Structure formats: structure tokens, C-alpha cells
Structure 1
Amino acid sequence: MNTEGEPSALVGSIQKFSTEDGPGIRTTVFLKGCPLKCAWCHNPELIKNEQQLIVSPSNCIGCGHCVEVCSAHAISFGDAGVSIDRSRCTVCLACADGCFANALRPVARLMTVGEVLAEVEKDKGFYDNTGGGLTVSGGEVLAHAEFAGALIDAAAARGILSCVDTSGFGSSRALLDLVSRPGVTDVLFDIKAVDDEVHREFVGVSVGPVLANVRLLSADEAILPKITVRMPLIAGVNDGEAAIRAAGDIVRECGIRRITLLPYHALGIAKAHNIGSRQQEFTAPSDDRVAEIKRYFEDDVGARTEVLGKL
């Protein structure tokens, strides 16, 4: 396949047989780069729109090759295994290239649309049999709108339908362009909090553009049926009565009929540590509280509601 001149992007991972990122069996492509700074992010390694190095000391076999090839002298060994001085590291990846134990590895790979599509196409039979397809996720899709659009179009040309997973924070024009493409059947739209002060504190940006964009999409009769609102649930942050009712008001106003609740999990903490960062630990609401929230969205808002994760 000729990929010369195609758009490219940093791809954190390509997850096969995904069943939680849209209908049917799917392949989810996680792009690296996001303008948000969610305090509970479950993929913190995908926030920065640049290459990073993952360090997994437990995988280290102590061969010393990485120390030999590191021209920045950023690598050392201790009782806990290999460690990186991030202030020295230039992310040249010479260490990762020779680390067969996978103790050092890049977060992402720069890939063209054709290279990604070649992986996605391998499971077309599963998509056809289950109503699945491609899901483009992140990071944030809108940070890579040109790449995402080209990938969606290329998939559609091969009979593969797509789902767009977005925070809604970004260009309204780019978002509308993406989700209006003929190959897009589903839109997973994250609403993390409706209160602007809470959103700024825990997500790092104003919620204004997010709410403007969900209203924009839902006003289009062709797009509205594609939308599922996804809400992370974090105890003490966005699970209170006022917060849930405010979210319900938005969903009701927009006429959205599908909601997915995502109780907090702590998987991002270890991922953050492996890229030399730290992440605050939160807690999920109790099972009873999650069940109450689910009933509210079903009975009062009139939206079909599912819970992914703890319940």
C-alpha cells in the first residue's frame, strides 16, 4: 500500500475486539494528544501531543544496553531496576530500540492513515457480523481532525463504518465535519461536568465549548440519533444531586436518548507513574449511588442508560 503523502499521527495503541467503544466488535484507534487535563484521566500517556518514554522497571533484566546507548546519560540502575532522569532524556528512543525486555518503550508510534487502516481491515469480518467497525479515540480526536477524517473516509471506502469518541472540546467546524461524514454511525460525546468552575478545576478548561458543541450536534436531525453521552462518575466531584440534574437538563434539552455512565477507576495512576508523572487518586460513587443516577437518567430524563465498569 502506497502511504506517501498521507496524513500521519502519533498512535498510542490500536485495540482489537473492543466492545465498549460503540456497537458490535470494534477496533479502537487511540491518538496521542489532548487539550484537556482530566485529573482522573485513564490514559494520561496520551495527553501530550509528543513522543514520550514508558519505563517499566519490573520488566528490566539488567543487561545494561540502555545505559551504553544513552548519549544523554539519563539512564541508571538501582535496587528497583532501571530509572530515567527525565530532565536529561531527549526521547531519542535509542534505549527503547534495543530493549527486548520491554522495560523501556515509546508511548506511541507515528503512523499514516494507510498503516492504521491496514490493521483495522484485518477484522472486517467481525465488524460485518456484529454491526461493529472502527472507533477513533484519543487523546482527543479533534486534535487530529485531518488525520481522523482521512481515516474515516478510507475506512468507509472499504465498507467499514466508524464511531467518533470525543470530549467535544475543539473546533465546532472540525467536529461537525467529522461526525457528518457518511461513514460515521455513532458519536460518543463525553460530558465530564456541567459546572464551569468544577470543569476548570478538574479538567483544566472551560466547559463552555463542550456544551456549545453538544448543542450544535444535537440540533442536526441527522446527527442527533448518532449521539451517546458518556459521563465519568467521580465521588465528590460530579456525582452530587445538583451536578447530575444539571447534566440531565442538558441531555433532556438536546433530546439525546442514550447515556453511558463510567464509574471511576484508578488505572491511570500506574500509567502516569510510568511516564514520570503523578496522578491524584479518586474514588467511584457507591454502587447504590450509581444505581440511583442510572434510574434518574432513565426515569426522569428518558434516556436509555448503561453502566460500564463498577456496579
Structure 2
Amino acid sequence: MTASLTEWTEKKDSTKTALVGAIQKFSTEDGPGIRTTVFLKGCPLHCSWCHNPELIDFQQQIIRMPNSCIHCGYCLQSCTQKAIFINENKQIDIDQKRCNKCLECTRICVAKALQPVASEMTVDEVMRQVEQDKKFYDNTGGGVTISGGEMLSRPDFVTALVEEAAQREISVCLDTSGFGDGDILKKLASMDNVTDILFDMKAIDDEIHHRYTGQSNQLILENLRQLSSDAAIRSKIQMRMPLISGINDGWEIIKQTAEFYQENKLQRVSLLPYHSLGISKKNHIGGHQEEFCQPDDVYVEKIKRYFEEEAVMTVEIQGKV
């Protein structure tokens, strides 16, 4: 069921902190140059193939690392809700219905087999880590990439982050699905130090998009149209397309996507063939993720040539998504 946008955005006075799933340094596939990528937790889309499923939920979660467990039993003793148990595989496990996310088990686990998925961080705390590598950004044309989850679900926090980066003369790349407030997205995209926008296109077909993400793509397409109507913003956009064999890579879908890109004068696209890394992550937070098929390399090359020749775009194939 499609929810209102307000359900997916931060509450008033939440610019102070946000749940940050990770801050990845020396990233080279999230925009130009050497970058630091900030992964915010919380996303309104529930992509069936998501490679960061631990960042979908807007609430804190606990991730299990069973191979790190030394079976000391401290977590079992510390849990007042009796949510922690040993499963049939003799691994530590969590009853998600009982767990109240107090995080006491993560604090007492000396082996780090139980860890919080995210950390509550202020803008200043994030920027202190980001600016440590400024010399690398300056030397390579890099900067900070704000990703997720979905960064549009934390508009005030992200706006403050972009403004603080501007004060430090650090360029920003926005990584978004486009599902969020279009006015806020355009405002962010217009900021001088936002030099790049990675815009994910899950599926041009609305029925397929809804089936595999839980949301319609109409808002996303409209937001993309609005961005691309501004030539200055359009030049910043690089489309990113996850390719899931048999789901969103059919030839008619590829043709429709190319036509949409042409209509909106979009010039760059990255193709991201599916990978299954999200499956183990989903398992470690107490869930199950379906495994899909990787598209054939020859077919991906055919798609690449089609976008180059028919849509007259610059195309790259990135590491499997």
C-alpha cells in the first residue's frame, strides 16, 4: 500500500541527528574522484533485490554476526525481554517480536557478534569524519556522497549536511531513488556545491516498480522530469539502472527507458547488474530475501550499445549491484 510522503520524512526538529548506517571512506563508485559516502538509514522503497536491506527500516536494528560469536552467553543473560536464543544451527538469534531495541546486548558483546545497524549522529559528527579526507577530494575531484536508505527521507538533515560541506568547500553528490518531496529535491540539486546526482531508475514500468519496490514510480518520474527541465541540474544527473534478469531488463522495458531518457535529454547512465550480497545481510537482521538471476554479460553489453546508439548517452557498466 502506498503511504503519504509525510510518513517517510523526518519529524520536526530532527536536524540535530539522524541514524547513519555507515560512513564509507575511499569510495570510488559513488560519484567522481575519491569520496566519502554517508549512508543514512531509512527508505520508503522496499526493493526486493536491495543490497543494503539493513538500511530500509527507519528504526534502529541489531545485526547478528554469528561467525564472530564466542558463545560466552553474556547477551542471553543481559536481555530482559528474553529475545535472544540459540537457534537450531547453534547460532545466536533474536526474536524480533520480543526485542525492544534497548541495545544492551550490543554493549555487552565483547566479540561484536551483535551490533547496532546504525549510529545516531549529528551533522557536525558526520562532517568531522568527512573533512578528514579533504586533501584527497581536492586532488581527485571527489567529495562527499549522501546516500541511504533514501536521503530525501531526511531532508532537513541532508540540507544541513550540504550547507556544512559548502562551508568547508567540499563538493556533494546526491544518491537518490527520487521518491520524496520534489521541491526539496530540486532545491538540493540547485545548490552550488552539489555537483553530481546519482538517480536510481528501478523500473520504468509502473506495475513492475510497484510489485518489486512497494511503491508506484509516478512521483519518481515526475521528480526526474522536473530536475531534467533545468539544464544546469540536468548536467549533474547520472542515471543508475539495476538490471535484474527477467524483471526489469526486458527489451521493451529497455526501449521505453531509453525513450524516456531521450525525451528528458538525459546524457549519462550506469548499468548495475544484480548481485546477491543483500541476502546474507537480510538474514543477519532477521529476515529473508529472494535471490534473483544475474543478467548475461553479453546481454548487458547489448543494452549498453542500445543506450549509446539510440539514446545517444554515455554508458558505463559498474560492479554488479
Q: If the TM-score is normalised by the length of the shorter chain, which range does it land in?
A: over 0.9
Specify the code of the residue in structure 1 equivalent to 2:27: S
The TM-score, its normalising length taken from structure 1, stands at 0.97
> Aligned residue for 1:13?
22
Change beyond 3 A, Cα 1:152–1:200: same
- 2:178 matches 1:168: yes
Q: Counterparts of 1:5 and 1:72 in 2: how far apart (Å)?
A: 29
For the 8 Å contact 2:27–2:34, the answer to whether it is kept is: yes
- SS at 2:271's partner residue? strand
For the 8 Å contact 1:294–1:305, the answer to whether it is kept is: yes
> Aligned residue for 1:109?
119
> Aligned residue for 2:152?
142
- 2:62 matches 1:62: no
Q: Counterparts of 2:90 and 2:240 in 1: how far apart (Å)?
A: 39
- SS at 1:120's partner residue? helix
Q: Please list, as runs of the form range in 1=range in 2, the aligned pairs for 1:232-311 lying within 5 A after superposition.
A: 232-310=242-320
**Following TM superposition, by how much is the alpha carbon of 1:309 offset from its aligned partner in structure 2, in angstroms?**
1.5
C-alpha RMSD of matched pairs (Å): 1.4
Q: Counterparts of 2:16 and 2:315 in 1: how far apart (Å)?
A: 37
- Measured against aligned partners, the alpha-carbon deviations of 1:223-277 in whole angstroms (never above 9, x if no partner) come to 0100000000000011111000111011111111110000000000000001111
Q: 106-115 or 81-90, which moves further after superposition?
A: 81-90
Q: Counterparts of 1:98 and 1:179 in 2: how far apart (Å)?
A: 43
Specify the code of the residue in structure 2 equivalent to 1:55: R
**Following TM superposition, by how much is the alpha carbon of 1:86 offset from its aligned partner in structure 2, in angstroms?**
1.4
Q: Counterparts of 2:149 and 2:266 in 1: how far apart (Å)?
A: 24
> Aligned residue for 1:201?
211
| 1:46 alignment partner, one of 19, 44, 55 | 55
The TM-score, its normalising length taken from structure 2, stands at 0.94
Question: Which runs of 5 or more structure 1 residues have no equivalent in the other structure?
Answer: none
> Aligned residue for 2:189?
179
**Following TM superposition, by how much is the alpha carbon of 1:77 offset from its aligned partner in structure 2, in angstroms?**
2.6
Q: Counterparts of 1:163 and 1:49 in 2: how far apart (Å)?
A: 22
- Identical positions, percent: 53
For the 8 Å contact 1:135–1:163, the answer to whether it is kept is: yes
- SS at 1:122's partner residue? helix
Q: Counterparts of 2:112 and 2:262 in 1: how far apart (Å)?
A: 48
Q: Counterparts of 1:228 and 1:164 in 2: how far apart (Å)?
A: 10
| 1:132 alignment partner, one of 111, 120, 142 | 142
**Following TM superposition, by how much is the alpha carbon of 1:208 offset from its aligned partner in structure 2, in angstroms?**
0.4
**Following TM superposition, by how much is the alpha carbon of 1:123 offset from its aligned partner in structure 2, in angstroms?**
0.5
**Following TM superposition, by how much is the alpha carbon of 1:8 offset from its aligned partner in structure 2, in angstroms?**
1.1
Question: Which runs of 5 or more structure 2 residues have no equivalent in the other structure?
Answer: 1-12
| 2:80 alignment partner, one of 58, 71, 75 | 71
Displaced runs of 4 or more, over 3 A: none
For the 8 Å contact 2:15–2:156, the answer to whether it is kept is: no
**Following TM superposition, by how much is the alpha carbon of 1:310 offset from its aligned partner in structure 2, in angstroms?**
4.5
For the 8 Å contact 1:6–1:114, the answer to whether it is kept is: no
